[in-house]
Structure 1
Amino acid sequence: MKQILLLFVVTIAATMAQFEFTFPEYKRTPLGDTIDLASMKLLKEIYDKSSNKNVITSPLGVLTLLSLYGSGSEGKNREEIMRLLGSNDYKELSDSYSYLSQKFSAMNPRYLTLANKVLVSDKFTVNDEFSKTARSYRSEVSSIDFSEPKSAAEIINNWSSEKTKGMISKPVSESDIDPAAAIALLNVIFFQGHWHVPFNASETKRKDFHLDRSRVVKLPMMHLQQSLFYYEDKDMDVQMIELPYKETKFRMIVVVPNDIDGLPEVLKKASEKGLLENVFRMSPPGADLDLDMPKFEIRSKINLNNILPNVGVSSIFQNGSTGIVKESSVVVSEALQEAFVKVDEEGATAGAFTGLVAVPMSSLSEPPKPIPFKVDRPFMFVILNDDIVLFAGTYAH
């Protein structure tokens, strides 16, 4: 039995520039719900297993490649993948991820790049049906010599660097490459978003951030007073705001626990019920929000071999799949992801925005006092396109 090298590569950057913006109507779909729940399960496990509680992941990259791998799998391998991805119908599942790959790969590369790639060992031949499915995922399929790990790593790293504009240039090392590998599945998602609601860099000040109940540090806090979508969930014990990007239907959701040490419990509840239910309950609170939020930059290298079994996908590491290459069944030997996020004020001076939501009020009345929203403790965040989770992360220090 030969092996398959299963590799995930992903990045995100939130930066600057100016685009026309039309306030969108977001739609909630069954596919979005299943991706949401799977994403929250993955995020919780990554957070729990990480010694550094600043983590970033692209669940969509993981789920897309699992869906693709499932097309060449059968039995328990496929069943576990389908269970995590929330489907009882594999054709419907595959069609959904094929649609998402086509949708996102067709977007303007100035702000979003999604690319899939299949690298087949020059000693093997890719299965015809698997190749057909891969191409429906807009995946390149090409040959590689895995028996030369250094050269193979360079090929993968160059591809990642090109697709992420140099942000993730060395996701794999020579030691990550199994010379016996039959095939590698690769995914890159690169997002360069531009705030629709600008932060003013001159208002960024060092303010208190609570690491826990007993420790406080000073961090650069961005400031914004604006009408933003907002929601409080008493069950999860959180406050949530939405920060839209200029790129249509992209938005960041920031989830702040009411309890300074409450992030682990919030992640647990999100992994059980997802986040979208609350996202679609958000609305203008009737007053501006007085927002303080830290600038942050996170880079995570994630060994998915240790994560996927905890969310119910273990068989692919043990049992062979026969529909991927013609000569042999294959098992997954390596599953990894590198992800990056940067959030700062860039774009604050690029096109002023005076109000996302207009709140009617009498000309004789006093405007309501702004509502404080302090992101001053460990929190979680997600970046969505419409109802699809592209990235999810936590920031703790």
Structure 2
Amino acid sequence: MTMTQTWFWRFLLTLCGPFFLRIQSSNLLADSNARFALDLYQTIRSSYKENVVFSPLGARLLLGMVQMGAKGKAHHQIRKALRLQEDSIGEEFSALKSFLSAIHPRRQEFTFNLANALYLQEGFPVKEQYLHSNEAFFQSAVKLVDFQDAESCAEAISTWVENKTDGKIKNMFSSEDFGPLTRLVLVNAIYFKGHWKQKFREEETQPMDFTIKEGSITKVPMMKMQLRTKLGHFTHSQVNYQVVELPYEGNEFSLILLLPAEDIAIEEVEKIISVDQIQGWLSEMQEEHVEISLPRFQIEQKLDFEEVFKALNITEIFSGGCDLSGIADSSDLYISQVTQKIAFVINEDGSEAAVATGGQVPVIMSLASNQFVANRPFLFILKNNPTESILFMGRMTNPEAEKMRGRDTDSL
């Protein structure tokens, strides 16, 4: 390499250095978030026999809120579980703040309601720096309450969550959730609803057999659509499955669906799923004309993350004597509860523009050579495309299960 070439490359690196670092930081954050999401999924799925939905982003935010005030062993355990390097704190928070600012505002194409709060027992004065940092990075609230009055606390927190989610998530807590030993409660509630880039036509939705996890069959409302989208057929460890992408209007979000072959149990896919595989799907899937059949469903689920986090070796924050001195000066401060509640809806809703393309449907139907028929348990991932971050992840094993629990789809 000549001296001129050497000078040119040094100049280019100097010019692009900050930009390159921002991209690299963003990619590293997305990768660590994806690995954390898979760790959570593998832990959560074993505790639920049927439907599962959770938000890795929400769990990440809750731990981030604690991490800001944690020191010593507690801080180290959180960062290790989040798959983060000790020297990346500044870049990580900056990337997270930019991400939240980008997706949080209400847009015509989607509704994304995010509510984070930290409720602390009165008598523990919160440090000003901690209050400012939480507001700046996590758009979260820190509130002092008296957990001795459990009924009032439950009502106050539930009302706050309901207001933050436009009434979509109700009754998050009851008085039984709190007691005289409650010290610090972390709350996360997320509601997402997007308009499909191409709408499912309601007149196409028909009752169809769905084989639930145990092998029995139930009738479910099955939506149908033909479109051109990304599809892939994959085999790993002799496990065959399909992956399809359903984009939302604006292309900022996509729903990734993973359907095992008819002779493959969903547990077999769950065992082998990895971040490298997910990245492989996204890079190898090809645009195809696809005929999709997908059940209309909703899941409303409340998760207690204490046991989940403990399984990921985050144990220190749940015991007395942990160092949360960045939050308040007290040796009696520890996490009493970490709760997330999700309302997740999949239905025919789409944009007006998508309806206008209905005249092209017969042409697409005649070209469709691939079928994706989700008439058996499947996995789903809702991701933000610009950042490749996983917002929601779960599995659907019985679309009728929520109705049997008395849930009302229209209320969600």
> TM-score, normalising length from structure 2?
0.79
Q: Does 1:114 align with 2:111?
A: no
Q: Secondary structure at the match of 2:314?
A: coil
Aligned partner letter, 1:127: K
Q: Does 1:132 align with 2:132?
A: yes
2:13 maps to which residue? none
The 3 A distance-change label for structure 1 pair 260 and 215 is: farther
CA distance in 1, matches of 2:180, 2:98: 33
2:148 maps to which residue? 147
Give 1:125 deviation, angstroms: 0.8
Give 1:49 deviation, angstroms: 0.3
Q: Does 1:78 align with 2:75?
A: yes
CA distance in 2, matches of 1:252, 1:126: 40
Answer 1 or 2: which has greater helix percent.
2
- List aligned pairs for 1:229-240, cutoff 5 A: 229-235=230-236, 237-240=240-243
2:403 maps to which residue? none
Give 1:108 deviation, angstroms: 3.4
CA distance in 1, matches of 2:104, 2:351: 28
CA distance in 2, matches of 1:141, 1:150: 19
1:32 maps to which residue? 30
Structure 2 contact 228–287 (Cα < 8 Å) conserved: yes
Q: Secondary structure at the match of 1:49?
A: coil
Give 1:185 deviation, angstroms: 3.0
- List aligned pairs for 1:101-250, cutoff 5 A: 101-108=100-107, 111-136=111-136, 137-212=138-213, 214-235=215-236, 237-250=240-253
Aligned partner letter, 1:55: V
Give 1:202 deviation, angstroms: 1.0
The 3 A distance-change label for structure 1 pair 306 and 117 is: closer
The 3 A distance-change label for structure 1 pair 282 and 272 is: closer
- List aligned pairs for 1:4-19, cutoff 5 A: none
CA distance in 2, matches of 1:128, 1:328: 18
The 3 A distance-change label for structure 1 pair 311 and 232 is: farther
Give CA-to-partner distance per residue, 1:208-250, whole Å, 9 cap, x none: 2222584333222111111111122211632111111114411
Q: Secondary structure at the match of 2:336?
A: strand
CA distance in 1, matches of 2:76, 2:262: 38
Q: Which fold has the larger relative contact order, with Cα–Cα distance below 8 Å and residues 6 or more apart in sequence?
A: 1
Structure 2 contact 291–368 (Cα < 8 Å) conserved: no
The 3 A distance-change label for structure 1 pair 351 and 374 is: closer
CA distance in 1, matches of 2:122, 2:142: 12
Q: Secondary structure at the match of 1:229?
A: strand
Q: Secondary structure at the match of 2:187?
A: strand
Structure 1 contact 197–353 (Cα < 8 Å) conserved: no
State which drifts further: 304-313 or 248-257.
Answer: 304-313
The 3 A distance-change label for structure 1 pair 240 and 375 is: same
State which drifts further: 225-234 or 312-321.
Answer: 312-321
Aligned partner letter, 1:119: Y
Q: Secondary structure at the match of 1:68?
A: helix
State which drifts further: 175-184 or 189-198.
Answer: 175-184
Structure 2 contact 195–248 (Cα < 8 Å) conserved: yes
- Which of 279, 303, 322 is residue 320 of structure 1 equivalent to? 322
Q: Does 1:371 align with 2:374?
A: no
Q: Secondary structure at the match of 2:125?
A: coil
- List aligned pairs for 1:330-349, cutoff 5 A: 330-347=333-350
Aligned partner letter, 1:231: G
The 3 A distance-change label for structure 1 pair 281 and 80 is: farther
Structure 1 contact 223–292 (Cα < 8 Å) conserved: yes
- List aligned pairs for 1:243-262, cutoff 5 A: 243-262=246-265
The 3 A distance-change label for structure 1 pair 306 and 164 is: same
Structure 1 contact 263–379 (Cα < 8 Å) conserved: yes
Give 1:76 deviation, angstroms: 2.4
Q: Unaligned regions of 5+ residues in structure 2, if any?
A: 1-25, 361-365, 399-412
Please list every run of at least 4 consecutive aligned residues from structure 1 whose deviation after the TM superposition is greater than 4 angstroms: 271-274
CA distance in 2, matches of 1:33, 1:259: 31
Give 1:271 deviation, angstroms: 4.7
Structure 2 contact 195–351 (Cα < 8 Å) conserved: no
Give 1:128 deviation, angstroms: 3.2
State which drifts further: 304-313 or 150-159.
Answer: 304-313
The 3 A distance-change label for structure 1 pair 264 and 304 is: same
Give CA-to-partner distance per residue, 1:305-353, whole Å, 9 cap, x none: 2212223322222351222212335222212222121111123776426
The 3 A distance-change label for structure 1 pair 369 and 383 is: closer
Q: % of aligned pairs identical?
A: 26
Q: Unaligned regions of 5+ residues in structure 1, if any?
A: 1-27, 358-366
Q: Secondary structure at the match of 1:192?
A: strand
Q: Does 1:97 align with 2:96?
A: yes
1:391 maps to which residue? 392
Q: Does 1:62 align with 2:64?
A: no
CA-based RMSD: 2.6
Structure 2 contact 230–286 (Cα < 8 Å) conserved: yes
1:45 maps to which residue? 43
Q: Secondary structure at the match of 2:229?
A: coil
Give 1:275 deviation, angstroms: 2.4
Q: Secondary structure at the match of 1:167?
A: coil
Structure 1 contact 118–134 (Cα < 8 Å) conserved: no
Give 1:106 deviation, angstroms: 3.5
Greater Cα radius of gyration, structure 1 or 2: 2
Aligned partner letter, 1:178: G
Structure 1 contact 194–245 (Cα < 8 Å) conserved: yes
State which drifts further: 343-352 or 372-381.
Answer: 343-352
The 3 A distance-change label for structure 1 pair 30 and 282 is: farther
CA distance in 1, matches of 2:260, 2:307: 27
Give 1:207 deviation, angstroms: 1.8
CA distance in 2, matches of 1:281, 1:148: 55
CA distance in 2, matches of 1:348, 1:199: 10
Aligned partner letter, 2:35: L
Q: Does 1:380 align with 2:383?
A: no
Structure 1 contact 105–115 (Cα < 8 Å) conserved: no
Aligned partner letter, 2:340: Q
2:299 maps to which residue? 298
- Which of 68, 84, 87 is residue 87 of structure 1 equivalent to? 84
